[in-house]
Amino acid sequence: MRRVEPVTPIDEDLKLVEPFLKEMGLTSESFLELEKSYEYESGDQKYRHSLLWSNSLKAHFVVIKDCASGKLHGYTCQDIEAQYKPCKLISPYLEDDYAADAELIDELLDLLDRKPEDRNAFAVMEAGGCYIQTARDEDGFVLEYQAVAKEFHFVVPEKLDVGDVKKAFHSFNEGDDKWSYCLEWEHLEL
């Protein structure tokens, strides 16, 4: 995915998530502002990513819109402050919770990749109550993210390969938000 120049945020982007906000018992008044928007190209498609700040949740919504159709493509929620706290890596393959670093992330995810038959094999990276997690089965990796509360739990709908999961884990660990917009996320009710 290639980023195009920043674009002016528009109120239409907030309207795209109003049905979800109603479902969550929130209103558009819960959002202070539409902070910024970028357009991205992926192949021949273009997407607008708009960052909305919610004062009541102390979190950001990232709204992803298909520019051609104007329809909602996806969204996610991020506790931005939590992303800048040190990450812990948790897995049954680790003796304890460890501070996440690039080498440990790669080693752990490579190990999970070699054990698709192990139903208890998973990895969680947590920071300030937010987390990104993965598990491997015979079809590939499942990747999930949770911010703020279980109502804000998201999943990537298709199975991923180990390389994509590594990129997401490294991005999350580095406090970068690429993991949130370079994959398509769907809300998952728990």
Give tens-digit pLDDT for 158-178.
999 999 999 999 988 887 777
Give the distance between the most distant pair of CA atoms in the chain. 49
Question: By three-state DSSP, how is residue 59 classified?
Answer: strand
The two tokens of residue 118 are: 């192990």
- Over range 17-36, report the average pLDDT: 64
Range among 42-51, 61-70, 117-126 with highest mean pLDDT value: 117-126
Q: Is the pLDDT of residue 91 over 90?
A: yes
Contact 91, 123 (CB under 8 A): yes
- Rounded to 5°, angle at Cα 157 from 124 and 165: 40
- Residue 136 has a pLDDT of 92
Cα–chain center distance at 169: 10
- Answer whether 0.85 is exceeded by the pTM: no
- Residue 1 has a pLDDT of 45
The two tokens of residue 81 are: 């402050």
Q: Give which of 95, 164, 81 is closest to 130, Cα–Cα.
A: 81
- Over range 100-110, report the average pLDDT: 94
Rounded CA separation 178/172 (Å): 8
- Residue 53 has a pLDDT of 73
User: How many residues comprise the chain?
Assistant: 190
Between 162 and 70, name the one with better pLDDT.
162
SS percent in the chain: helix, strand, coil, step 5: 25, 40, 35
- Residue 166 has a pLDDT of 96
- Residue 6 has a pLDDT of 53
Q: Is the pLDDT of residue 129 over 80?
A: no
Task: Kindly state the helix (H) or strand (E) to which residue 72 belongs, with its residue range.
Answer: strand 72-78
